[in-house]
Amino acid sequence: MLKVAVFVSGRGSNLRAILNSSKLRNLIKVQAVISNKTTCPAFKIAEEYSISNYIVGNEENSISYNNISEFLKSLEIDLVVLAGFLKMIPNDMIVDFRNRIINIHPALLPSFGGKGMYGMNVHQAVYNSSTQVSGATVHFVDETYDTGKIISQRCIDISDVGSPEEISERVLAVEHELLPHVLEKFALNKIIVGNARVRVLP
Ligand code: GRF
C-alpha cells in the first residue's frame, strides 16, 4: 500500500475523488490530510473517511513548516499530494521528498502557471488568452511554482465556452479522473522519471 498525505486549502473535491476511487481502494492509504487553514472545508471529507487532520503553520497545535518534513517521515509517507494547497512547500521537504511530491494544476502547464496562478485566476487567464483548449496537469513539485516535471495531462476542448466559470467546471471534471489515475500509476510503480521527461507505463 502506498502511504499518502494530501495537502489541501479549500473545498477538497480532488481529495474526495481520490477517496472515492474504487481502483485506489487496495492500492493507496491516505494517512493524513494536512491544511494551512484551521477551518478547511476539506477536513470534513477527511473526517467522513476517519482520516486524521493536521494543521501546518504557526497556529497553536499546528505543525511548523520547519518540522513538516520530519513529521511526514514519522508517518512513513511515500507520496505527498498537493490538491489545492496554496502555500509554498519548504525547501527541505522538497529535497527530502524529491520526486515524491505531486501537484494538480487546473491548466495545461507550462502555460498558465506560476505565482498567483491559482483558482479562478487561471481560468480567467485561459479565457482571456483565446486559447481553444485547456485541461489539467499533474506534475512533480520542485523549488518554484508549477515548474516541476510534468507527469500526466488531460486536454479539453473549450472552443464553445461562454465564461471562465464554464472552463473551471469542465477542467475540474477531468482533474477528478486524472489525479486518481496518476496515483494508481504511482502505486503500481509505473512512473519512470528520466532526466528531461517522465514516462507513464501502460
Ligand atoms: C483544483 O482546481 C486544483 O487543480 C487546484 O486547486 C483546486 C482545488 O480544488 N490546484 P479542490 O479543493 O480539490 O476542490
Question: Edge-to-edge strand order for the sheet containing 133-140?
Answer: 52-55, 28-35, 2-8, 79-82, 101-105, 133-140, 150-157
Give the pLDDT confidence score for residue 59 in this predicted structure.
86
Task: Find the 194 Cα to ligand 1 centroid distance in Å.
Answer: 27
The CATH number that applies at residue 39 is: 3.40.50.170
Q: Which of 198, 84, 202, 89 is nearest to 143 (CA)?
A: 89
Task: Find the 54 Cα to ligand 1 centroid distance in Å.
Answer: 19
Q: Are 63 and 56 in contact (CB under 8 A)?
A: yes
Q: Which of helix, strand or coil describes residue 164? A: helix
Name the closest-CA residue to atom 8, ligand 1. 84
Task: Find the 92 Cα to ligand 1 centroid distance in Å.
Answer: 24
Give the pLDDT confidence score for residue 60 in this predicted structure.
86
Under DSSP, the state recorded for 147 is -
Name the closest-CA residue to atom 9, ligand 1. 84
* Atom from ligand 1 closest to the CA of residue 136: 4
Cis peptide before 110 (omega within 30 of 0): yes
Q: Which residues contact 117 (CB under 8 A, 6 or more apart)?
A: 105, 107, 125, 145, 146
Q: Which residues of the chain have pLDDT under 50?
A: none
Total domains in the chain come to 1
Considering the entire predicted model, what is its pTM?
0.97
pLDDT tens digits, one per residue of 58-75: 888 899 999 999 999 999
Residues of the domain holding 121: 2-200
Q: Can you tell me which residue has the cell 499533474?
A: 138
Name the closest-CA residue to atom 7, ligand 1. 84
